[in-house]
Structure 1
Amino acid sequence: MQASDWRQRLAAAGLTDNFIFNKTFLDTGLTKELICRVLPDLQVGKLKIVDTQHELATTYDSKGLRFDIYAEDDYRNRFDIEMQVLNRHNLAQRIRFYQSMMAMDSYEREKDYRNSGNAYVIFFCCFEPGGTGDQWYRTERDIHSEGTHRQLSDGEVSLCFDVTSPLRTVNPPLQNFLDLVAGRTVDESDDFIVQLKKRIAFVKQNRKWRREYMLRTVYEMDIEHDRRQAVKEGLKQGLEQGIEQGKQQGLEQGASDERLALIRDLIDSGQSADEVINFLTTVRKLPVAEAQKYYHQALTKCEPK
């Protein structure tokens, strides 16, 4: 990697960059103001950042969880704030896991369940997270019985926001923050926005964090290089095997199964939808519509990671 690459990447980075987001909201004042904009009806006490990239695990061999921002206030409210750039199609399951881990963390420190406080998981997504075209979603646990429907006040609340949405259905202060994240025009008279921009500039100039960013970027690029080399070799082997199998099978169903297996391998190896479909159309000579059909069939059979 050229020495200037990471500097250019850092200079262009905004709050959608996980590193910038983490370091920016180490500032408790900014984090509290963001929470107040997301939850304007909630009384937020004195806030403490437990950690950024805070990791929890229930047992030594269980799946761990790494929070972007994990904060608590003196009313025993807990907040997990996440920036999610890629849609991995498992957001609902991730939110459930985050909530369960926050509950375990709380119950370990409290003797009475009633003292565990409330838990808020907040996702800012660079995609539409709910599939209905709305700008934001709020979920709480419900109770359904014959003739009744009410909320179970267990203190768990989850919120997801689509920062790319053209809709403006949130309160104006929060909308101004979403506009900043999305790179849209913002109200420059908003002091929160002013302070956020100053903080982002400070993060980018901090010598310790610049070195941390550089090392992380070099590591990520090395991993990406190794992955691409492995995928390139895998494509070559897969093509050779596919040609040989095609000669032997000759049956439409067999060919279909082989294509689906190969596509699942490509997906598992980290290939994007465009890369997989391009492979199918250019190497396998499939029509675009047929390539898309096979991709979506394979995608539905891939287990979430």
Structure 2
Amino acid sequence: MYCIKPWEDLTIQDDYMFKLIMNIKPICLKLLQGILRMEIKDIHYLETEKSMDARYQGKGIRMDVYVRDDAATVYNIEMQVRMLEGTSLFKRTRYYQSMIDADLLAAGADYDDLNKTIIIFICPFDPFGEGRHIYTFENICLENTKCKLQDGTTKIFLNTKGTMADVDESVKAFLDYVNGIVGEDPLVREMDEMIRRIKRENEERVSYMTFAMKMMEERKEGFREGERQGFTNGLAEGKAEGKAEGKAEGVAFSISNMMKNLGVSVEKAMDILQIPADERTKYATLVRQ
């Protein structure tokens, strides 16, 4: 049964708290500067938790953090707490990129003037198994790896389980903090103090509980629909398979409903519903039909 995580137990790994902390400009700015090892004068929030509806037919996405710097580079920062099945995690960056480009073009940009974009996934696991804290990807020529496509797109995966000395100490301290280790780094101390302060704010507590209750209701509705579908199909077909098929349709309904009403991705909806890893491909297929 789905349980609401207590407000007091939320950490930087939890989407809700991560978004609140990253919406504090000085913290977000310092983290970006540390990851990229460059000075950024200022950032502008295009919209925290930016919701983008897929044009034509497709699914929308809701971004954790969506900002633009003073040089017009656009950043999308996401907390990814699960390694998705197969190559889903990596293909997710491709989909996010397409949605960002569509959003920029809809805002009036010309193809030649598309902003430089950097998508950053923060992972409490090693998505590539090489022990790096940071994996940076750009499009290059396979015949000459020094020749870059220069399409202005970059994807970065940060790994909290890295063992190499490949990031700044401040970034390493932040990744340790994602793992639950509070060090003496100034940025980490600032984040931790801010989380403690936020937890004392009753308004944010109420907001979180409202959000969590809505998620719970979505989950309950999905399982109720599953039971209704299963009962109907079971009577119609007179088989156990009919009931199982109806339940699957009900769970798919719940996933779709949660994506629509809460603006979350199919992966996050299945996280909330606690769908087992070996069943996720089946439900993802049903949702996309």
TM-score, normalisation: structure 1:
0.70
Equivalent residue, structure 2, for 1:199: 194
Amino acid at match of 1:203: I
Name the SS of the counterpart of 1:225 in structure 2.
Answer: helix
Counterpart contact for 1:55–1:64, Cα < 8 Å: yes
Amino acid at match of 2:55: T
Equivalent residue, structure 2, for 1:73: 69
1:177 pairs with 2:174: yes
CA separation of 1:102 and 1:45: change in aligned 2, threshold 3 A: farther
1:142 pairs with 2:179: no
Amino acid at match of 1:72: R
| Aligned residue runs from structure 1 range 95-244, under 5 A | 95-109=93-107, 112-130=110-128, 134-144=132-142, 147-149=143-145, 150-163=147-160, 165=161, 167-171=163-167, 172-184=169-181, 186-188=182-184, 190-228=185-223
Counterpart contact for 1:54–1:69, Cα < 8 Å: yes
CA separation of 1:136 and 1:237: change in aligned 2, threshold 3 A: farther
Equivalent residue, structure 1, for 2:276: 273
* CA displacement at 1:173 relative to structure 2: 1.3
Equivalent residue, structure 1, for 2:270: none
Aligned residues: 261
Counterpart contact for 1:168–1:175, Cα < 8 Å: no
Deviations 1:246-297 (A, max 9, x none): 9xxxxxxxxxxx9xx89988996856438xxxxxxxxxxxxxxxxxxxx59x
* CA displacement at 1:53 relative to structure 2: 1.1
CA separation of 1:64 and 1:135: change in aligned 2, threshold 3 A: same
CA separation of 1:197 and 1:70: change in aligned 2, threshold 3 A: same
* CA displacement at 1:25 relative to structure 2: 1.1
CA separation of 1:131 and 1:237: change in aligned 2, threshold 3 A: farther
CA separation of 1:118 and 1:151: change in aligned 2, threshold 3 A: same
CA RMSD of aligned residues (A): 3.7
C-alpha distance in 2 between matches for 1:168 and 1:206: 39
Structure 1: gaps of 5 or more residues:
247-257, 275-294
CA separation of 1:127 and 1:233: change in aligned 2, threshold 3 A: farther
Deviations 1:163-194 (A, max 9, x none): 2x15244322111001111102x431x21112
Of the three residues 18, 21, 31, the one matched with 2:15 is 18
Name the SS of the counterpart of 1:151 in structure 2.
Answer: coil
Deviations 1:121-174 (A, max 9, x none): 001123332355654321111223xx53322111100011232x1524432211
Name the SS of the counterpart of 2:187 in structure 1.
Answer: helix
| Aligned residue runs from structure 1 range 265-304, under 5 A | 272-273=275-276, 295=278, 303=285
1:52 pairs with 2:57: no
Bigger-Rg structure (1/2):
1
* CA displacement at 1:235 relative to structure 2: 8.8
CA separation of 1:271 and 1:18: change in aligned 2, threshold 3 A: closer
CA separation of 1:187 and 1:131: change in aligned 2, threshold 3 A: closer
Amino acid at match of 1:19: Y
CA separation of 1:62 and 1:272: change in aligned 2, threshold 3 A: closer
Structure 2: gaps of 5 or more residues:
255-272
Q: How much identity, in percent, do the aligned residues show?
A: 22
TM-score, normalisation: structure 2:
0.73
C-alpha distance in 1 between matches for 2:155 and 2:81: 18
Counterpart contact for 1:78–1:120, Cα < 8 Å: yes
CA separation of 1:108 and 1:217: change in aligned 2, threshold 3 A: closer
Equivalent residue, structure 1, for 2:92: 94
Amino acid at match of 2:115: G
Equivalent residue, structure 2, for 1:32: 29
Equivalent residue, structure 2, for 1:288: none
* CA displacement at 1:219 relative to structure 2: 1.5
Moved more, 167-176 or 18-27: 167-176
